[in-house]
Every structure is written in C-alpha cells, then in structure tokens.
Amino acid sequence: MMFLETAESPTYGLHFHGTAKHYPWLSTLPSARVPGIAIIGIGDPVSAKLSAACEHPAREYRVFPNVHALLSFNGPLAFTLVLIDTRAVQYSLAQHLEALRKWGFRRVALIGPEMGDADFIAALQMGFDDVWPSTLSHQAFSMVVDRAWQASLVQPSHTGQRQMTLGALTVKPESASCDVQGVRVFLGRVCFSLLQCLAANYPGIATRQKLAAAIGRGAFDGHTKSRAIDMTVFRLRRKLEDAGIKSVRVGTVDQIGYQLLLDSLDFSQTEEPDVQMRSAR
C-alpha cells in the first residue's frame, strides 16, 4: 500500500466567511477551525477524481492515506464529510466506520462498490451515509460530492456517545447501530438518529418536531420535512424487518408523531385514551 503525505486544497482557508453566512452554526466553531472534506485514498485516479470533485470556492479538502492519519489530524479544518476509497482500507470497513462515528464526523461516504452488488448492499447495511461506484465520471463525482457536502452542513454532528438499553434493545451510538437479542443492525446516521430519539422518549411519543430536529432536517419545512420523517420511519422499519426483528416496532400516532413499541416491556403497549394508535405497518 502506498502512503502519502497529507495534501490540502489550493483554496484552503480562503472562503470560510462566505460559507458561514449560509450555515450559521459554523460561526460557533473556534476561529482557527473551518469546515472541510477529508479524503482517504491512495493517490490513484479515483483519489484524483475525488480531489477534483472537491474543488470549489466554498469548500476545503485534505487527503489522508488512512483513517488513523485523519483521526490524528490536529490542523485548522473541522471535517464534516469523509470520503473513503475502499482501496485505502487497512482493516474491516465496519471498524473504519465505527472509529469515524465515535469521533463524531457528520457524514461518511464509501467509494468503490458497484451499485447493486453484494459489497454495495453490505456497505449500506453497515451504515455508510453514501456508497458510490468508483467508475463514476468526473461530472458525476462532482454532483454526488456536492450533494453530500450540502447534507453534511445542515445535519447535526453525530449522536452522543451514551449507550442506551431498553429491554432487549440496545442503542449503540458509536457505530450507529442497535442490538436486539444478539442481532446487530447497522442503521446509518439518519435512521439511527430517529431510533435514538424514539428511545429517548420511550415509552412516550416522539413528536414530529422532535424527530425533525433529530434527523437534521431543520433546513427544510412544510411538506418536505414531514415527508423526510415518514420516509426515515419507513426505512427504519424495513431495516428491522430485514434483520428478522419483530419485538421492536415503530407505531404511528396520528397527527402527532411516532412511538417506540417493545414487546419485551409491558408498559410500552399502554395507550393514552385520547390518542388513536395505528399498527406499525
């Protein structure tokens, strides 16, 4: 494997103030820290395409040879998006992702697996926010990197590190996953944030406002925000079903929000008399 010196974008440090104007939370960063994109690659054509895609007046990026080099970085960039070339992976993808989640990176994309093959599906199930084939054109990479970058700026930093257990359900923030009776399900950042919000409000109801804040859709409003919540609930239900889990469900509370239902805890099934519950399906 070829190891590189870390390399930074030529526009480094020039455009922070313009970006902060559009994303006010950035102004809370220490003055020496500016948002950026981290690329983990080995200096091949794929890394070159990623670097080219990151070139933008409102963005800064830096290239690292491995995850360890990124986690050891103590420079002035505060990375919100991490792009990983599979050929730079030194051990299991799950360990890479878990380490990055533990350090609180907002969004992590994997580059390499072809769409639809086993590795592509496994990476999505593992919890990567985005999975892109390495065969994408320069133009396609520019488009997907731009979308992931914009998403990383509006979504909150990764969830807290406190593990939570409710009956047979264990919520694991360090890997954006949950365990149910020995079955681990990697959920991805958005689905995990929603599950964590449901668990934090258990046995009560998580309102749509709370769920919208949890999944980081604050930049949207109206129908778009509502649709994002419903689609995330749908994806969470599907992930649990695909893993064969039936004891953890998400119930719908009409006009209010959603509620976590755990078969192993009796009081989770208690309904308020003035709230009509629909089935989780």
Instruction: Determine the pLDDT at residue 96.
Output: 83
What is the per-residue pLDDT for 33? 60
pTM of the model: 0.53
Report how far residue 132's alpha carbon sits from residue 201's, in angstroms, rounded to the nearest whole number: 35
- Supply the range of the domain harboring residue 75: 7-154
Q: Check residue 104 and give its pLDDT.
A: 72
Are 42 and 179 in a shared domain? no
pLDDT of residue 157: 53
pLDDT at residue 14, as a whole number: 33
Residue 75, pLDDT score: 83
Residues 23 and 137 in one domain: yes
Q: Which residues of the chain have pLDDT under 70?
A: 1-33, 154-162, 217-225, 264-281
The pLDDT value given to residue 239: 94
Residue 269 has a pLDDT of 37
User: What local confidence, expressed as pLDDT, does residue 136 receive?
Assistant: 93
Task: Supply the pLDDT for residue 194.
Answer: 92
Handedness of CA 39, 45, 49, 55 (dihedral sign): positive
Q: Do 176 and 117 reside in the same domain of the chain?
A: no
pLDDT recorded at residue 93: 85
Asked if 118 and 207 sit in the same domain, the reply is no
Quote the CA–CA distance of 138 and 47 in Å, as a whole number. Answer: 11
- Residues, the chain: 281
For residue 1, being part of any structural domain is answered with: no
Phi then psi for residue 154, to 5 deg, are -95, -20
Q: How far, in Å, CA of 186 to CA of 203, rounded?
A: 23
User: Of 135, 154, 173, which one is at a domain's C-terminal end?
Assistant: 154
Please tell me the total count of domains within the chain: 2
